[in-house]
Chains A and B, each alone.
Chain A
């Protein structure tokens, strides 16, 4: 009888960790907004929460599995607090990798004996329905103390891995328990610059989407987190963004409008989506109804004071991801590059004027700039809303902004 109930529990344990998370459309915004215990805690929690689970053959951890992706690789000063401790020497962890995610590297951080360690790591990656491929690793001792070694196993550079599952099997007879500090994808666990060539460049880290009833059918909202820099600073390197668009059955290319909010406002980009703040600012939903795809680029609060050039670089990197990156490959949204517009608000107008320099956008509009555009800019920039005027944009101005930006949707 006892075994029967235990069997029931085992069945539960297997099912417990496989559920997709019911994240809301603002999780990407809040993941970067606050510090969640460790440098990369918020982002990693959003990116990997629900995607890391134990294999049935693993011994059981005596703690939360999130310790495997909390941005803390472990340390020898406090191994019992910084490593996930299993109740046996064998730890087997599965990490689901979505089709759109291109993982360039994986690293596993463990605790081993300094001398003659019996620790052995094996990592395979298998696409659904295919046999797994074993990855090769380089072992490096990060630190050692009193017979204990903090060890990093890092995969050797190879092709980007996507649409499958890592199976990380670690066995160590050095101790009665396996100690695993972190399972890091693409170096997302430290504040060191992204030196590994496999992890440099723009990368799509987080992607959720929802369908919303619209007056003309259905609208789709994609919440994204994109790696837009390689500095090692969470506030600089990760940019939240949203792409909203009408769902079109024929796959015809959509005009694109990029919206950039004043990064110093309280609600940030969420206002533009109608998820916070002033209703007049909810331009995204209005433009989607007008038939446009809308890209809203957010700036995390800790980075609000960055130079406009840095913000412009974020916009470029996000746009590149949408046009040519993994998102473009898997999003099944055709964007008409000849019909792109951009709009900025408040102190965000300087950023938009910089981002628009290459002449990529057919229409450039700004509202409430600190000062009127200089003569060289005036010819290509439409100012909607008096320069320097205090107060919010009015409902009429919001309508004018939407009409002007949507007006660029007519094919040339």
Chain B
């Protein structure tokens, strides 16, 4: 950590202590607030985290006559219902303090207020940095809504501020009025709910193709060469393989670390802004980085891509859902960090492919979006700027991914397309060749997969996936012997394992197989030794006999199935 970062961290800590009221903070133990805030699909719950946790009424302010939460309820204030949409104060002065974390770097602020048309308020925004230096910000005013003499005025600073750690002081004095009435305080436009015209998003894939795609990924170029001249297919492929919204910078908007001393790990809950549709379910991806407490050196990292379920990332994190799929803590026990994220659109009961995604990304649906989100997440986690918050660095040569069901679909594509991902495992990916229309050429299968507009299974078979990965890919039901032969024979290429391609389940044994896969893959490839305990060997051969018999039987079944016409 640099001296500046350390100073910022100290300043923020001091501010946090100073601004906290005399109340035990139970939120500090909840790593899943970032998931739960999205469950009801209400922007106000999300904004409570993104804005509310850093915003306070300053001491010199008049007292508010309702909850401060009205300042971040995604409601700028309406002239047809001012009583319930503006926060009224018992005097003309409203003062707020917004705490800025070192990693946040906000670009723009806005504050709306109910005023008389002829009397603009006096509004001052002053940034006080961690070094104590104060800088006033230029504020502009515009009228958002007018009804007779009453107006909703917006006072804005930025964009382009990129403010450092410290506090933003907002001082509002109402002119010729006994009460200040504020509507919404927004940071970087969050929660304004102003989506651009839907048509702006149609054709993102074409934009990507022309600007970024072929340059960024050799594999993409190679595959595009195989495609026919159909521009729609090319566009869909572009949507799948990279940024649906190429011009948008990824922004870290939330970070909270929760230590788990019992399991010797820290869960870092964070949220990235990855899009700007105005729909918070799409624009913000929530993710969790699980880091072993004894992290030393560069850590291997496994991305955990979850199934289509309301539990979303809480399942691979082990907090909810199938116990066999919760592997984050077990990986941490072996010195491996993990990254889980809520895939679009899971984690919100009422969201669906059709309601949330297809209007913005009609060609690629959630598949393209999830691949893009995952790419942005990895970019951010591997970025050196993440190190001070995560307390760890990650080994770029030891990045893996495991997915189950829908997560296996994303894992397969991400593993094939993102060269940073070196070890890929997926479970319960049981689509068959018979699902594929006869005569469809190999080179078209990715565009077909991209059209994930319905709940029909993607028309891809395990055999095709294996062919795509090349010689080091093996389709195996969990088999200890095969794992040994395979990992021992690894050269410098990427590795893949398919676990139970026939059923939509992961048994306890298969779970342990996946864990062992990553452990073996990363240990064999280790540039530095992995810290932490090693596996304890069982004591007798007799104990293993039933497992070996069983696994051999399953492998036979697999081989038979693959050979079947």
Binding site for B on A (CB under 8 A): 1-17, 19-27, 30, 34, 36, 45-46, 49-50, 52-54, 56, 59-66, 87-88, 210, 212-215, 219, 221, 244, 246, 266-267, 273-282, 284-286, 288-289, 390-396
Contact = CB atoms under 8 A, between A and B. Distances in A.
B512 A24 contact: no
B561 interface: no
Interface centre among A9, A87, A214, A289 (most CB of B within 10 A): A9
Nearest to A246: B24
B564 interface: no
Given A8-B535, A64-B507, A278-B68, 20 more contacts: A2-B481, A3-B541, A9-B480, A9-B516, A15-B330, A17-B323, A50-B323, A60-B507, A60-B508, A213-B25, A215-B22, A221-B26, A244-B24, A275-B26, A276-B45, A279-B52, A279-B68, A281-B67, A286-B23, A392-B69
Contacts of A393: 67
A289 B24 contact: yes
Contact of A282 (B23, B541, B544): B23
A400 to B, nearest CB: 12
A6 B322 contact: no
Contact of A284 (B26, B45, B547): B26
Contacts of A54: 508
Interface centre among B27, B28, B317, B505 (most CB of A within 10 A): B27
B33 interface: yes
Given A50-B323, A66-B323, A392-B67, A19 B329 contact: yes
A19 B24 contact: no
A214 B24 contact: yes
Contacts of A56: 543
Given A289-B24, A392-B69, A277 B48 contact: yes
B137 interface: no
Given A3-B541, A16-B511, A214-B24, A30 B318 contact: no
Nearest to B68: A279
B337 to A, nearest CB: 15
Contact of A212 (B29, B543, B546, B550): B29
Interface string B535-553: 1111001011011101101
Contact of A394 (B39, B63, B553): B63
Contacts, number: 241
9 contacts: A6-B544, A7-B537, A20-B262, A21-B326, A23-B319, A59-B550, A62-B507, A87-B550, A289-B22
Contacts of A289: 22-24
Nearest to B258: A24
A278 B320 CA distance: 26
Given A24-B30, A26-B32, A391-B66, A62 B24 contact: no
B42 A25 contact: no
B310 interface: yes
B321 interface: yes
Interface in B438-487: 478, 480-481, 483-484
Contact of B544 (A7, A215, A395): A7
A11 B32 CA distance: 31
B36 A26 contact: yes
Contacts of B48: 276-277
Contacts of B551: 6
Interface in B315-342: 317-324, 326, 329-330
Given A22-B260, A22-B319, A16 B515 contact: yes
Interface string B228-268: 00000000000000000000000000000000101100010
B539 to A, nearest CB: 8
A394 B64 contact: yes
Contact of A34 (B64, B310, B323, B550): B310
A34 B543 contact: no
A6 B537 CA distance: 9
A226 to B, nearest CB: 19
A278 B69 contact: yes
B67 A63 contact: no
Nearest to B502: A62
Given A19-B318, A45-B321, A13 B23 contact: no
B57 interface: yes
A82 to B, nearest CB: 14
B84 interface: yes
B332 to A, nearest CB: 10
A21 B318 contact: yes
A212 B26 contact: yes
Contact of B29 (A8, A88, A210): A210
Contacts of A221: 26, 29
B40 interface: yes
A212 B323 contact: no
A40 to B, nearest CB: 15
Contacts of B480: 2-3, 5-6, 8-9
